[in-house]
A and B are shown apart, each in its own frame.
Chain A
Amino acid sequence: MNQSTLYGWGRTRRTVAELEPVRTVEEAREALRRADGRGLIARGLGRSYGDAAQNSGGLNLDLTQLDRILAVDAEGDDPTVTVEAGVSLDTLMKAALPFGLWVPVLPGTRQVTIGGAIGADIHGKNHHTQGSFGNHVRSMDLLLADGEIRTLTPHGEDADLFWATVGGMGLTGLVLRATVAMQRTVSAYFSVDTDQTRDLDDLLERMKTGDDGYTYSVAWFDAVTRGASLGRAVLTRGNKARLEELPATLRRDPLKFTAPQFGTIPAVFPNGLVNRLTAKAFSELWYRKAPRHRVGEIQNITQFFHPLDIVAEWNRVYGPGGFLQYQFVVPFEAEEAFRRAVVLIAESGHVSCLNVLKRFGPGNDSPLSFPMPGWTLTVDIPISDSLDRLCRQLDEIVLGAGGRLYLAKDSRMDAATFARMYPRLDEFRAVRDRVDPEHRFASDLSRRLGL
């Protein structure tokens, strides 16, 4: 047995389990037969922050070697790719760009597998215009607990199983492959408008009135500065750059994938470096370096989408104590609750540097999918003793506003709070109980949340 210590991107809850690579469909079936009462769960690139991709004491299937791109259909009006579950968005993007194809949904990192993208129903800066990842999946093959492989489509016979698998955190079965709708693009660059906003009111107003003019929109905001400038932000919005917008040097090779990486954060990094002082300095710098108002700047993929990917393993800067990412959404009607949450975070004394604010568009049919029309906010906070109190206070605000937390980020919710946040939980349970009555697919997250 290959016992491994597994944990999520937040590096908090470490548990021990058997980690077994799966390279073929037959190996996946074999692993399913071998799994004991403790069950099994798929693991991709480990970017879930909490305990979603670990099954302590049981079997964890490492799917990153099930990574073939099976078909690229770039002809016709409806381009698609068919890939195995372990293909990362990074790999897919590099493979698809020469065909003039673009991955429809990109989260804050490209280091996510297709299986993970479906299981967490990931979203990106274009949610308000193009929805979450599940909206773009045309079909997928799911290995069920009984060994059967079923092909699922969003509107077919097993539509309920399809949508339970989207956002289902790997608990309905093992996604083996998927066909994903792609978008055409003429360049790998973005035309970006940047605005500094004075405070939270200014920010929300600009997003409400201006977002619809852009495919992509997101704001970084300062959660450290209090008082009149509370919630000051840098708003970046953009569209795919058209050829005529590119400077001549880039126009020669407009589909070139440019994602430079400067280095890797060393494995030994002490606790406490993200503190009030460094967070203040970082927030000031981030805000000041942004232009007050700039239009039409051409940015590459890393600049616009994944500024954090420029250093690998950036989660290590929080030290061995780890950190927590709190991402919630509240409906647009609950803007007041949203403001209260922002004030509470800024005044809590906990420091968060990476604060992302976004407007979501409509959600999809998945009972456990996170996005709903409303404001979503993400903060990264190093673990400390008093953090629990802040999180519980935020939970109350979110619950009171009819909002919820994102399971791919969550590492500390309790089962009762979770059930109140996801009113369609019973629908999910009914589908899961039908296809996996013994709950052979299980994870630390499923046990923690009583899923």
Chain B
Amino acid sequence: MDALGNPQSVLLLGGTSDIALAIVRRYAPDHQPKGARPRVVLAARPGARRDAAAEGLRAEGFPVETVDFEARRPETHAATIEQAFAGGDIDITVVAFGLLGEAERAWTDADHALELAEVNFTAPVHTGVLLADALRRQGHGRIIALSSVAGERVRRSNFVYGSTKAGFDGFYLGLGEALAPHGITVLVVRPGFVRSKMTAGMDAAPLAVTPEQVAEQTVAAVRAGKELIWVPGAFRFVMMVLRHIPRVVFRRLPI
């Protein structure tokens, strides 16, 4: 990281996430020479999607390394983190992996519920602890944790996903407090509805944003040293209101 907040290296846990890739691209503005592109470590499940993400970044001049990452195989997480740091310090880590799932199946199909809980909560906590250890050893680093407004007030319509994100959000906010004395900061990002691979085929909700918009505001927040943002910013106030609506009213809202 330099004095102006430009990272030399970025690790994407969930290296095929649209938002994560948009964040990386945001760290290579046009006015910078190609030689100044940060080194990118893509930690993701091996396969066509990871290959495509890596090739896309390489074509734009990013040096890219790939590391195998399986969220549901915790016994492999330590090796994933170790390999991710093998090429040198990591300035920024984006915790971007997650699964939206099918809301109605998620509370009726135990396997699907477990899958969401493991991918969205257990794995982020497990890798988060391993990541924190690696960052403490290097004495610096920034974590961007992609949370969701869905975790702030959990709704009937997607409560399994929402509850996993509530846990995720709480863990990374707390991790930020714990890591502050070690020179490491955590930014929790709570986007609303993002038009991305994850939501393909769904009707956009109000205040919908693109991955690029999330990336733009996320990078600005990292530079400003913020710890928690909503994207778009208006969601902060929307959620502030929703949080305080009594349950009898809340369950009648069309959300």
A57 touches B140 (CB 8 A): yes
Total count of chain B residues near the partner, CB < 8 A: 24
Q: Does A124 contact B (CB under 8 A)?
A: no
CB-CB nearest in chain B for A388 = B4
Task: Determine the distance from Cα of A320 to Cα of B88 in the docked complex, in whole angstroms.
Answer: 29
Set of chain A residues within 8 Å of B220, measured between Cβ atoms: 385
With CB as the reference atom, state the residue of chain A lying closest to B8.
A448
Question: Cβ of B183 < 8 Å from any Cβ of A?
Answer: yes
Beta-carbon contact of B3 and A57 below 8 Å: no
A104 within 8 A of B: no
Residue of A nearest to B32 (CB): A392
Interface residue from A10, A38, A411, A414 paired with B137 (Cβ < 8 Å)? A38
Q: Would B8 and A57 count as touching, CB distance under 8 A?
A: no
**Interchain CB contact (< 8 A) of B36 among A17, A389, A416:** A416
B196 within 8 A of partner (CB): no
Partner of B4, one of A383, A415, A447: A383
Within 8 A of A (CB), among B180-239: 181-183, 220, 223
A392 and B33 form a contact (CB under 8 A): yes
Contact with B along A24-40 (1 / 0, CB 8 A): 00000000000000100
Is A412 touching B139 in the complex (CB atoms < 8 A)? no
Contact A392 B183 (CB under 8 A): no
CA distance A299 to B32 in the complex (A): 45
Q: A324-B4, A448-B2 are in contact. List 10 more A-B contacts (CB 8 A).
A: A5-B183, A12-B4, A14-B183, A38-B137, A56-B140, A412-B2, A416-B36, A417-B36, A444-B140, A447-B89
Contact of B139 among A15, A322, A396 (CB under 8 A): A15
Contact with A along B3-45 (1 / 0, CB 8 A): 1101010000000000000000000010111011000000000
A383 contact set on B, CB distance < 8 A: 3-4
10 contacts between A and B (CB under 8 A): A13-B3, A16-B139, A56-B183, A322-B3, A383-B3, A389-B29, A389-B31, A393-B31, A412-B6, A415-B8
Complex formed: what's the CA distance from A388 to B29 in Å? Answer: 10
Number of interface residues of A (CB under 8 A): 37
Residues of A contacting B181 in the complex (Cβ-Cβ under 8 angstroms) = 3, 16
Chain A positions near chain B (C-beta within 8 angstroms): 3, 5, 10, 12-17, 38, 50-51, 56-58, 322, 324, 383, 385, 387-389, 391-393, 395-396, 411-417, 444, 447-448
A393 to B32, CA, bound (A): 9
**Interchain CB contact under 8 A, B36 and A10:** no
For B32, B35, B138, B183, which residue has the most chain A Cβ atoms within 10 angstroms?
Answer: B183
B57 at the A/B interface (Cβ < 8 Å)?
A: no
Given A324-B3, A448-B2, A414 and B35 contact (CB-CB distance below 8 Å): yes
B173 within 8 Å of A (CB atoms): no
Bound complex: CA A396 to CA B1 (Å): 21
Knowing A50-B3, A383-B3, A447-B89, the reply to whether A416 touches B183 (Cβ < 8 A) is: no
Are B36 and A56 in contact (CB-based, < 8 A)?
no
Cβ contact within 8 Å between A392 and B31:
yes
A15 with B140: CB separation less than 8 A: yes
What's the least CB distance linking A300 to chain B, in Å?
A: 34
> Are the C-beta atoms of B35 and A57 separated by less than 8 Å?
no
Residues of B within 8 A of A393 (CB): 31
Are A417 and B138 in contact, CB atoms less than 8 angstroms apart? no
- From residue B216, how far is it (CB to closest CB) to chain A in Å? 12
